[in-house]
Amino acid sequence: MIPVANINISTATFNDLYLKVNEIAAVLSAQTLTANAYANGATAIGNSYLNGIFAADTGAFGAIRGGNCQSSNTLTVSSNVLQQYCYWASGNAGTTNTNPTQTVDSFSSIAYRSSKYVLQITNASNYQATELLVTHDGTNVYVTEYATLSTNGNLGTFTAVIASNNVQLQFTPVNAVNVLKFERKSIAI
């Protein structure tokens, strides 16, 4: 909440209103919060949305989102700057072993250099959770899998390729039917 006193519009003069606007502008210049959403570095599209508590040195946010955050977005609170050059995604994919290697997710190789995945794989009463780091040099994709935990052995293997300017995360299942859920954080180039 910005500490600016109310003004009585029915009795205020133009000069009173002028001074109040300048006072509000001075307070806002020291207490600025901006959220911008860009699509591939172009102009902002969509609506930005901020929900939470804002004070001089505090930002407690219940929700921050923009239209299409595909390149970068910056959140500025007073003189403290939190820059987020990333994109969060999540999804579900079903796989079968009739098609041995299947793409479960993809991201732009032009916009993002690397991604971190947290994946959960379910096959009947068998479960696996794993983390992956994926990066590329424009031609080759490099994947490392770590922090793997499974209830009855690994349910498949992960690889990645670049096709049509997209890095494609691929999964080769061991069993016939799997459900994959994932969260991905991609970092811009």
What is the Cα–Cα distance from 181 to 119, expressed in whole angstroms? 6
pLDDT tens by residue, the chain, 189 residues? 555 666 676 777 766 766 776 676 666 555 544 444 444 444 444 444 444 544 444 444 444 444 333 334 444 333 333 334 567 788 888 888 777 899 999 999 999 999 999 999 999 999 999 999 999 999 999 999 999 999 999 999 999 999 999 999 999 999 888 999 999 999 988
pLDDT at position 87, please? 72
CA dihedral 11, 14, 17, 21 (to 10 degrees): 180
Domain boundaries, the chain: 31-84, 87-188
What is the Cα–Cα distance from 40 to 70, expressed in whole angstroms? 6
pLDDT at position 17, please? 65
What is the Cα–Cα distance from 127 to 130, expressed in whole angstroms? 10
Tokens of 139: 């031609």
First to last CA, the chain: 37
Q: Which CATH class is domain 87-188?
A: mainly beta
Burial state string for 12-43 with b = 16 or more CB within 10 A and e = fewer than 16: eeeeeeeeeeeeeeeeeeebeeebebbbeeee
Tokens of 83: 């820059």
- What contacts 161, CB < 8 A, 6 or more positions away? 141, 167, 168, 170
- What contacts 109, CB < 8 A, 6 or more positions away? 136, 138, 162, 165, 166, 167
pLDDT at position 24, please? 66
